[in-house]
Chains A and B, each alone.
Chain A
């Protein structure tokens, strides 16, 4: 039931783009994205509902393909502040969120 995230880790130079994928074996009601910096609690980024919507703020956006039971997080022109571990959480319409193992993103200057 735990979603699978890929890649497990990414190293980028400042200004480069990245895509983080999240896939589930179950039909999903929503997908949640969080970012956790080292030693801190996870912080909410966005929620996507089924319907194939795409959301974004700043240069971070995400899409949700309910047919494929997949979501992707897009980081454009990455900044040093984007470094951290990104978690996707999936909901199968019972309000319970199951998180993936995370994708570690490291941005080099």
Chain B
């Protein structure tokens, strides 16, 4: 079946503009994660959705960042008033718990955001 897809693959925006990044998880996966990866850096956790539970927003770096997940499927990460330090690759991952309670995350190809 299809994997995790993200759009756009690349986004160049001017400082101060708002951007929306989209993630389509694997069908049936209840968990969805957003991460940010700056050049040569690790995976920075941003936000986590699990089923119908309230999302874990503890990783969002500022109130300019927000995310929603509609109908338990597609998710949109919105960055308002973009700053140059927001430039990074934004990765989305989805997972489905196994009977043992463990799971692996399937990552999308990412959206490369460049703020000029």
A interface residue numbers (CB < 8 A to B): 2, 30, 32, 34, 40-44, 47, 49, 87, 89, 94-102
| Cross-chain contact A102 with B42 (CB below 8 angstroms) | yes
Of the listed residues A2, A41, A42, the one surrounded by the most CB atoms of chain B closer than 10 A to its CB is: A41
Count of B interface residues, CB-CB < 8 Å: 23
Q: Which residues of B contact A47 (CB under 8 A)?
A: 102-104
Residue in A closest to B107 when the chains form the complex, CB atoms: A41
| Cross-chain contact A41 with B48 (CB below 8 angstroms) | no
| Cross-chain contact A96 with B48 (CB below 8 angstroms) | yes
Task: Tell me the total A-B contact number using a CB cutoff of 8 A.
Answer: 50
| Cross-chain contact A95 with B31 (CB below 8 angstroms) | yes
A44: contacting residue among B50, B91, B106, CB under 8 A: B106
Q: Give the distance to chain A from B72, nearest Cβ to Cβ, in Å.
A: 15
Within 8 A of A (CB), among B74-113: 91, 97, 100, 102-110
In the bound complex, CA of A94 to CA of B44 (Å)? 17
A interface: dominant SS:
strand
Q: Which residues of A contact B103 (CB under 8 A)?
A: 47
| Cross-chain contact B45 with A99 (CB below 8 angstroms) | yes
B43: contacting residue among A30, A44, A49, A87, CB under 8 A: A87
Q: Which residues of A contact B50 (CB under 8 A)?
A: 95
| Cross-chain contact B104 with A97 (CB below 8 angstroms) | no
In the bound complex, CA of A101 to CA of B102 (Å)? 22
| Cross-chain contact B102 with A30 (CB below 8 angstroms) | yes
Does B33 sit within 8 A of A, measured CB to CB? yes
Does B52 sit within 8 A of A, measured CB to CB? no
Q: Which residues of A contact B65 (CB under 8 A)?
A: none
| Cross-chain contact A42 with B102 (CB below 8 angstroms) | no
